[in-house]
Amino acid sequence: MLKIENLHATIGDTEILKGLSLEINAGEVHAIMGPNGAGKSTLAYVLGGRDGYEVTEGSATFNGQDILDMDPHERAALGLFLGFQYPVEIPGVSNLQFLRESLNSQRKSRDEEPLSGGEFIKLAKEKAALLKMDMDMLKRAVNVGFSGGEKKRNEMVQMGILNPELAILDETDSGLDIDALRTVGSGINAIMRDEKKAVLLITHYQRLLDEVQPDYVHVLAKGRIVKTGGPELALQLEEQGYEAVAA
């Protein structure tokens, strides 16, 4: 599904990703762990298509299509979802309007019929309930006045509504209390655990991986994947730290 080969990316003059390779197939959950500054968020942003990152070498394809030359909204329409570490506030734009326009924009570029207002509300209610989010919050402006935990929950509601093929979740667990972590974890499982879908979890902690069991765990250090293993690797990292494991 996602194939990254020898990816090099820079911000300004600084090279952050230095030859990263990773392959994710349908039905798999991958976790990327790594120390601060290793390039985890950069990887997420490069795959999402954020401005300011330059790919200097290597490739990334999604279902065989080169995504690096595509605009962010085109990548989303292909089925790529980026869960933000710091979800952005958009004053004056309601969650519902934003998501309906987003979904219909995606559907349009896939030559699908737009969802009617009624169909959309039904879908939104279902996904909000899954994440235990009050419908009233969906009527409010996007993330404005939301707590850190509510923002992350809102990311997952958005993921549920948009129903992507691949979700790249950048520290979705940070800022969550234990109950919210459990809700978000089961939300990820309910929405994304499917033989046709895949998840890339970027995280610092083992806790989320208790809720969402990864098939593979990768250690990202200094812009490359330095070690790959099964779920046990995350436990080993938690006990011994990055330096000992990745050295």
Query: For binding to another protein (CB under 8 A), which residues are involved?
Result: 48-51, 71-73, 75-77, 81-82, 84, 87-93, 97-99, 101-103, 105-106, 109, 141, 158, 162
In whole angstroms, how close is the CB of 162 to another protein at the nearest point? 6
Which C-beta is closer to another protein: that of 103 or that of 131?
Answer: 103
Which C-beta is closer to another protein: that of 89 or that of 177?
Answer: 89
Which C-beta is closer to another protein: that of 22 or that of 47?
Answer: 47
Name beta bridge partners: 202. Answer: 32, 170
Q: Is 148 exposed, middle or buried (0-12, 13-18, 19+ CB in 10 A)?
A: middle
Which C-beta is closer to another protein: that of 133 or that of 245?
Answer: 133
* CA 133 to chain CA mean position, Å: 19
Distance, in Å, from the CA atom of 163 to the CA atom of 171, rounded to the nearest integer, reads 19
Token pair recorded at residue 83: 């869960």
Which C-beta is closer to another protein: that of 93 or that of 130?
Answer: 93
Which C-beta is closer to another protein: that of 44 or that of 237?
Answer: 44
In whole angstroms, how close is the CB of 142 to another protein at the nearest point? 8
Token pair recorded at residue 96: 């519902």
Name beta bridge partners: 11. Answer: 14, 53
Ramachandran bin of 87, using left for φ above 0, alpha for ψ from -120 to 50, beta for the remaining angles: beta
In whole angstroms, how close is the CB of 98 to another protein at the nearest point? 7
Q: Are strands 29-33 and 216-221 parallel, antiparallel or unpaired?
A: parallel
In whole angstroms, how close is the CB of 72 to another protein at the nearest point? 4
Helix, strand, or coil (residue 88):
coil
Half-sphere CA count of 193, side-chain side, radius 13 A: 11
In whole angstroms, how close is the CB of 197 to another protein at the nearest point? 17
What is the C-alpha radius of gyration for the chain, rounded to an integer number of angstroms?
18
Instruction: Convert 128-147 to b/e letters by CB count within 10 Å (16 or more is b).
Output: bebbebeeebbebbbbeebe
Which C-beta is closer to another protein: that of 84 or that of 216?
Answer: 84
In whole angstroms, how close is the CB of 70 to another protein at the nearest point? 11
* CA 135 to chain CA mean position, Å: 23
In whole angstroms, how close is the CB of 233 to another protein at the nearest point? 29
